[in-house]
Amino acid sequence: MAYCTIAEVRAEGLVAADAADARVTATIALAGAYIDKMTGQFFEKTREVVKLDGNGTDVLQLPVPIVGGAIDDVIHTITVWDSSITVDVDNITLYNQSGRTKDDRNNPKIVFVGSTGTWLTSVWSRGDLNIEIDAEWGYVDWDGSVTWTTPVLIKDVCLALVMREYGLKTDAYFLGDKNAYRIKRESTRGREVEYEGLSDLNLTGNLTGDPAIDSVLASFRRAPRSSNVRKV
């Protein structure tokens, strides 16, 4: 996922002589992967078919929010009869949108409020991958005019993660203080300092240690995933 652009990185002062476009593109992708891993979300609109295990209740947790609250199709296989039906979306309440009294997007779910009609089923019957949802997914914000977009805080964090990799030298003293939390080893003789890199953080799943980044990631972190959700 590309949550910031090369142009935005260049605007921060990183010139092509210090990092070519291909390298910046790779770092943006790495930063996006780290954000997705640490939050359990993704932040671009993406069409996917997601399958879930029916749990015998009327509530199913979703892996990520459904964009705009619009579900195209929900196919529910009634396990007892091994037969599939399309559930009328009017029989489903979706909890995952901003604009409600409470923003549910960190814990999205669908609730069966009607029945399938044919068998008067009002719960998601137990089964293995027997619920199929076709929709556009992603934790995104409406930009107010045209489309859904990556939340501005996620864009900012992505840009910050990218810039960490290059250590711009606009103000050495300020930069030293700003990056002090990244120090993993420091030698006073010869003044050798080694910083933790984004690739190390991404591989180990560590937080960055930067409150400005970590607090945003924590605020977007998804609630623990229910065992009924399987993304395919």
DSSP 139-170: --EE-SSS-EE--HHHHHHHHHHHHHTT---S
pLDDT of residue 187: 59
CA-to-CA distance for 33 and 199, rounded, in angstroms? 10
Tokens found for residue 1? 């996922």
pLDDT of residue 169: 44
| Lowest-confidence pick of 17-21, 65-69, 185-189 | 185-189
* 174 phi and psi angles, rounded to 5 deg: -60, -45
pLDDT of residue 232: 42
Mean pLDDT of the chain: 78
pLDDT of residue 28: 95
Pick from 165, 175, 198: nearest CA to 18: 165
pLDDT digits (tens, 9 = 90+) for 59-75: 888 888 988 777 888 88
How far apart, in Å, are the Cα atoms of 143 and each of 108, 176, 188, 190? 21, 36, 50, 51
Q: How many CB atoms lie within 10 A of CB 8?
A: 16
pLDDT of residue 138: 92
pLDDT digits (tens, 9 = 90+) for 99-149: 445 677 888 888 888 765 555 567 888 888 889 999 999 999 887 766 889
Pick from 123, 67, 119: nearest CA to 94: 67
CA-to-CA distance for 158 and 55, rounded, in angstroms? 36
